[in-house]
């Protein structure tokens, strides 16, 4: 099935939309009732799920993980997202740059002693800058899940995998696929998008001092079939229990900060610039 391009609006005005649906995550009902213009939400998932096969994921690794998009500060990348609205998310109709501050501030209120977690909330979606650099949104946003094994029925709009050839593959279409039982999340080939890209960017940065728990949140916060629905337990290793607890706590703020009052960005930027410096992310980073 051909893929319909859906490009970002990073360099143009924000596309006006009706108020988002009330669901706090991407249920099939939320997708069906989304007010996104021209049903972009369902289209994004159709494109993503038809193209989420291990060969394409590996090609995206080669395309993006050479870190050839130049050196930019976190704040420079954040402001590239000033006009970016995630077409896969029925809960957000504001630019992602504002969502960064809203998530971070929601965490700061309830975890005043964990500034690394505030910072994780601040940067967690920066990988969406891929869309500003020419990648189609279906490659960038939306839920993530492993490829190279059977797709879970708990993935939103899972019926759309019918067009994905990996579902009929003798290995990739089976429960364990190319993996061993309880091999651990870190050994899975996840569908490539903004989570994996930012995780790899920060892991590649020599002075990054964000705790491993923060990197877990960045890498797995969109893995909703796992942390929200309980899928893929047969691939979890014992040490992944700590990841699950941490990511579930983080996602309370990623989800439920989306309808709050808009923050005063000019007052908050100095605070988060200081935190970036504290955790080794204050200067230029290769993207």
Q: Which residues line the annotated binding site?
A: 99, 124-125, 194, 221, 254
DSSP string across 68-128: -S-EE-HHHHHHHTTT---TT-TT--S-HHHHHHHHHHHHHHH-TT-HHHHHHHHHTTGGG
Binding residues for Fe cation: 99, 124-125, 194, 221, 254
Q: Is 230 left (phi over 0), alpha (psi -120 to 50) or beta?
A: left
Which residues lie below 8 Å from residue 76, measured CB to CB, with a gap of 6+?
Answer: none
Q: Compute the distance between CA of residue 49 and CA of residue 125 in angstroms, rounded to an integer.
A: 20
- B/e letters for 156-181, b = 16+ CB within 10 Å, e = fewer, are bbbebbeebebeebeebbeeebbbee
């Amino acid at each position: 099935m051909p893929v319909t391009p859906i490009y970002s609006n990073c360099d143009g005005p924000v596309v006006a939309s009706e108020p988002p649906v009330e669901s706090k995550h991407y249920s099939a009902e939320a997708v069906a009732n989304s007010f996104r213009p021209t049903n972009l939400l369902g289209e994004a998932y159709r494109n993503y799920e038809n193209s989420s096969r291990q060969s394409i994921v590996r090609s995206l690794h080669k395309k993006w993980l050479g870190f050839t998009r130049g050196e930019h500060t976190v704040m420079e990348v954040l402001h590239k997202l000033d006009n970016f609205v995630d077409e896969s998310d029925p809960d957000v109709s504001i630019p992602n740059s504002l969502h960064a501050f809203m998530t971070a501030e929601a965490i700061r209120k309830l975890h005043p002693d964990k500034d690394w977690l505030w910072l994780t909330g601040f940067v967690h979606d920066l990988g969406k800058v891929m869309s500003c650099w020419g990648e189609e949104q279906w490659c960038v946003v939306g839920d993530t899940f492993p490829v190279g094994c059977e797709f879970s029925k708990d993935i939103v709009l899972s019926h759309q995998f019918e067009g994905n050839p990996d579902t009929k593959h003798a290995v990739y279409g089976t429960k364990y696929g190319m993996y061993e039982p309880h091999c651990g999340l870190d050994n899975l080939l996840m569908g490539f998008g903004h989570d994996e890209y930012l995780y790899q960017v920060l892991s590649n940065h020599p002075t990054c001092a964000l705790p491993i728990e923060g990197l877990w949140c960045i890498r797995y916060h969109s893995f909703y079939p796992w942390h929200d629905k309980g899928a893929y337990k047969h691939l979890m290793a014992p040490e992944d229990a700590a990841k699950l607890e941490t990511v579930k706590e983080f996602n309370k703020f990623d989800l439920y900060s989306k309808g709050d009052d808009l923050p005063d960005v000019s007052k908050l930027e100095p605070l988060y610039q200081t935190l970036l410096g504290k955790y080794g992310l204050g200067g230029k980073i290769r993207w």
